[in-house]
Amino acid sequence: MQRLWRLLHWRYLTREQINGFDNYKYSAIDTSPLSQYVMHPFWNWLVKFFPRWFAPNLMTFLGFLFSVMNLVLLSYYDWNFDASSGEEGTTPIPKWVWLSAAINIFLAYTLDGIDGKQARRIGLSGPLGELFDHGLDSYTAMIIPTCLYSIFGRSRLYSVRPMRMYYVCLTVYFNFFVSHWEKYNTGVLYLPWGYDVSMWGSTAMYLFTWWAGFERWKFALPLGPLGSLPMGNVMEAVLHVSAMANLPLVVINVYNSYVKRTGRMLSVWEAVRPMWPFVTYFVLLLLWPFLSPNDIMERDPRAMFMLSGTIFSNVSH
């Protein structure tokens, strides 16, 4: 009972930290042409149809649930990522699942885009809403690539093995983390261009798979004298590039915030302090599949993907 009493009365935040919530202002810069000229006008129009009593956090949570629905559906029909491999003895994913996945991911994207607009519209914008939003986004970083993997499966000819898809997930986690580390130092969240492209790309890929079937992805892209590249490998490369393309801008923005004295001007130790839990996590999750005595990545890759995403979400927030 004494331990329970201490747990319930433990002061997790200091008074200074609590007071900081009142002075906090969300600051974000979105320079993506797709966002600026297509999505934001659409979101500004759409949010007006929601009643003012509709809580922004409810929008955030509903959007997250649509992403989770894709994870649940594809986990049920394709737990081991074999369904779209085209190999003998496998059962393809029903076509309606792909249509559902396209609708779900677009709804998730839309609700994620308008929750902040609804908050500002009704005067409920605040740090707790931002924490809730980005906390759920950090788990979605696992859901998006994991679900896309089911389009190609672990085909030996036209896709990549689970370990390489695992590297894609880690790359996405890294990009998500450094974007928020950038904000930790600069005070501004510079939204990556890759997010909008990945959401539109995911929607298009699910729709194409629903319309044409997963078999249409079973070909190699001709590269002239360099040979050819299977479409599963193309997806792998695109996800890596889209995730890492933001890194140079992160370095430049953090550097400029110190040179121009526009950021938080933290000491070197304070600036890199959030990195240590993530680096520890990253090293351990890289080593685990190699040290696994029962080859966990081949036996149950989905479990590793979901475990890595769950731990990452906790580490990043």
| 233: CB partners within 8 A, 6+ apart | 159, 160
First to last CA, the chain: 29
Q: Give the pair of three-digit tokens for residue 36.
A: 């600026």
pLDDT of residue 243: 83
CA distance 44 to 47: 6
Give the pLDDT score at 44.
Answer: 94
Report pLDDT for 24: 66
Is the distance from CB of 193 to CB of 245 less than 8 angstroms? Answer: yes
Provide the 10 A C-beta neighbour count for residue 126: 16
**Residue-level pLDDT at 275:** 92
Q: What is the pLDDT of residue 95?
A: 95
- 141 CB-near residues (< 8 Å, 6+ apart): 169, 172, 173, 176, 309, 312, 313
Verify whether residue 134 is a known catalytic residue: yes
* Euclidean distance between CA atoms 84 and 272, whole angstroms: 42
Helix or strand or coil: residue 229? strand
Ranges of residues in the chain whose predicted pLDDT is under 50: none
Question: How many C-beta atoms lie closer than 10 Å to residue 49's C-beta?
Answer: 8
Q: Kind and range of the H or E element at 221?
A: strand 220-222
**What radius of gyration do the chain's Cα atoms show?**
21
Q: CB–CB of 21/127 below 8 Å?
A: yes
- Which tokens go with 43? 């979101």
Summary count for the chain: helices (H), strands (E): 15, 4
Catalytic residue among 40, 134, 180, 240: 134
Place of tokens 């695992």: 166
pLDDT at 23: 64
Q: How many residues does this entry show for the chain?
A: 317
pLDDT of residue 226: 76
